[in-house]
Amino acid sequence: MRMSKIYMPTLREMPAEAEIPSHKLLLRAGMIRKLVSGIYSYLPLGYRVIRKVEQIVREEMDDAGSQELLMSAIQPREIWEATGRWDNFGPEMFKLRDRNDREFCLGPTHEEYFTNLIKDEIKSYKQLPLNLYQIQTKYRDEKRPRFGLMRCREFIMKDAYSFDVDEDSMKVAYENMWQAYDKVFTRLKLKFKVVQGDTGAMGGKVSHEFMATSEVGESLIAYCDHCDYAATDEKAEVVYDVEGGVGELELERVHTPEVTTIDALVEFFGIDHSKFAKAIVYSAQGKPVIALIPGDRELNETKLCNYLGIGEHDLEMADGDTILSITGADKGFTGPIGIKEDVRILVDSRISKMKNLVVGGNETDYHIKNANYGRDFSGEVVEDLLLVKEGDRCPKCGQKLKMDRGIEVGNIFQLGTKYSDSLHAKFLDENGKEKPFIMGSYGIGVSRSVAAVVEQYHDEDGIIWPLVVAPYHVIITVINTKDEVQLELGEKLYTDLKSMGVEVLIDDRNERAGVKFKDRDLIGIPIRITAGKKSKDSVVEYSIRGEEGRIEVPITDIIPLIKEEFNKAGLNFLK
């Protein structure tokens, strides 16, 4: 491709709307453009990268025995109604009506659709196991679309679904997909961790997320250096030791004017954070709920939602009026003692074992000392409502956990029968008995993976594409296009390389060398050849984006050097 012809609207200025490197660089390099919030176009260079990522995904999925097909992005309400997700998926689902007033959604995912397809076609255990996938556009009306391709409302995803006769067979399918994902992200040159995830809106019990490590990642990961434990902060189990053995002291009402935060209470009482019980009032599907956790910890809203069986969009912090109506006091003085019976109190299991806590008095400007679960208050004890933090003990080996940030580029779910049961998708087993399919589902964010690669491979001048996903392998820069010798040499190399199947760009623009070098850095083509003054001796300059140094080489040596780069990247040099 010729730089004089390519549609590549690069930007000199930093786009004001972009906060993170991948968003800035993909915009500046003319690879993507925003239409409206969270909706992007992939321009020619960017789309080449997308297609390469898709191809890697496709090859590994095919190799793992999955079969590609393509479903519609538009799905009828009825199949979502059957699984309860028409309502439960929440405001993230784009909904629309056709001219006959029939309701549809733009698919945020395809579990219902695949299950619905299979149920009328697969009748016998002999046709199983089956694994199907597609690479397709998905829609989620995110509350806060941001960070360019990282969190979009329209995005490209590979989604796969497995159908098996029993749990064991499903686990084999799950493991198989895990291996395929390992290969995909390794080929994409991503540094990643596989962590336990929360199953959330997908359902099922077991899931894992593939996280590309990045300081701008939106996901927090708790992991252990001493064993293989790793989980998202939403999922991570919290180990919290409770000191036992103290007798129960008498309740004491204490005047605490304007002392409304845990920090202020610590100062007022002169005791440790952990001696307080923090009461947080939520509105869950419109009903007030109080969560009670140790004063030195944060609440994990995902665990709370899972316990309540609601989606996160159904949970919000209660306002001052609600708090006043259920406690009779202002915010900051809520406690578990004397709350109306119809208000659910969810007690973190650690609280139920702790002695002589300070709690809110449910009376403005008052707290109560020496409150004890069982004697002074009750509630539903929930095993674990806490958010993990750095330094917590590993639930597996007891060593200290570390925290890292990641970009979720893939996820795998053991769904079980959630969808086959609700959609009545059954097959006949060996004994002629009807059984529901045991399912798994498996996603890879294709467009998000592109953003993750840029996050891991860039510098202040631009993107540094790994060769396997680079929009072009080689860029030839002709320093002075008016110099016939330089231009001819550049053109000859361009033609030769193209004929060998190398994807090559030639910068034949009548621009200053500085402009060409800046653009070259920005768009991040890995292998760089510069035809300058030494062209008359058939010598060019050769360098690799992101690596130190450049060498002068006779053009006869160029092909072996490029071959070497292809070998290093695990790519076949075609001819």
- Stretch of 170-178, 289-297, 366-374, 389-397 contacting Zn ion, by CB under 5 A: 389-397
Residue 96 or 227 with smaller CB distance to Zn ion: 227
Instruction: Determine the straight-line distance between the first and last CA of the chain, rounded to whole angstroms.
Output: 19
227 binds Zn ion (CB under 5 A): yes
With a CB cutoff of 8 Å and minimum separation 6, the contacts of 249 are 356, 369, 370
> Which of 86, 229, 437, 465 is the binder for Zn ion (CB under 5 A)?
229
Residue 231 or 345 with smaller CB distance to Zn ion: 231
With a CB cutoff of 8 Å and minimum separation 6, the contacts of 99 are none
Query: What is the C-alpha separation between 132 and 67, in angstroms, rounded?
Result: 5
User: CB of 402: closest distance to Zn ion in angstroms?
Assistant: 10
Query: What is the C-alpha separation between 357 and 350, in angstroms, rounded?
Result: 12
Residue 37 or 399 with smaller CB distance to Zn ion: 399
- Stretch of 197-205, 208-216, 219-227, 463-471 contacting Zn ion, by CB under 5 A: 219-227
> Which of 224, 265, 308, 523 is the binder for Zn ion (CB under 5 A)?
224
> CA angle 271-277-282, nearest 5°?
145
User: CB of 188: closest distance to Zn ion in angstroms?
Assistant: 28
Residue 29 or 224 with smaller CB distance to Zn ion: 224
With a CB cutoff of 8 Å and minimum separation 6, the contacts of 343 are 288, 289, 290, 326
231 binds Zn ion (CB under 5 A): no
393 binds Zn ion (CB under 5 A): no
193 binds Zn ion (CB under 5 A): no
400 binds Zn ion (CB under 5 A): no
> CA angle 439-445-451, nearest 5°?
165
Residue 223 or 377 with smaller CB distance to Zn ion: 223
- Stretch of 182-190, 386-394, 422-430, 540-548 contacting Zn ion, by CB under 5 A: 386-394
Residues in contact with Zn ion, total (CB under 5 A)?
8
Q: Measured in whole angstroms, how far is the alpha carbon of residue 463 from the centre of its chain?
A: 21
> CA angle 453-459-465, nearest 5°?
40
Residue 220 or 470 with smaller CB distance to Zn ion: 220
Amino acid at position 390, single letter: E
> Which of 397, 515, 551, 571 is the binder for Zn ion (CB under 5 A)?
397
What are residue 511's phi and psi, to 5 degrees? -125, 165
With a CB cutoff of 8 Å and minimum separation 6, the contacts of 149 are 22, 23, 26, 32, 40, 155, 447, 448, 450, 451
223 binds Zn ion (CB under 5 A): no
User: CB of 400: closest distance to Zn ion in angstroms?
Assistant: 9
User: CB of 220: closest distance to Zn ion in angstroms?
Assistant: 17
Residue 4 or 399 with smaller CB distance to Zn ion: 399
Three-state SS annotation for 98-163: CCCCCEEEECCCCHHHHHHHHHCCCCEHHHCCEEEEEEEEEECCCCCCECHHHECCEEEEEEEEEE
- Stretch of 189-197, 221-229, 255-263, 555-563 contacting Zn ion, by CB under 5 A: 221-229
Pairing of strands 103-106, 74-76: antiparallel
User: CB of 412: closest distance to Zn ion in angstroms?
Assistant: 22
Residue 14 or 397 with smaller CB distance to Zn ion: 397
User: CB of 224: closest distance to Zn ion in angstroms?
Assistant: 3
Residue 64 or 224 with smaller CB distance to Zn ion: 224
Query: What is the C-alpha separation between 226 and 458, in angstroms, rounded?
Result: 31
What letter does residue 343 receive in the DSSP assignment?
A: S
User: CB of 298: closest distance to Zn ion in angstroms?
Assistant: 22
Q: Which residues bind Zn ion (CB under 5 A)?
A: 224, 226-227, 229, 394, 396-397, 399
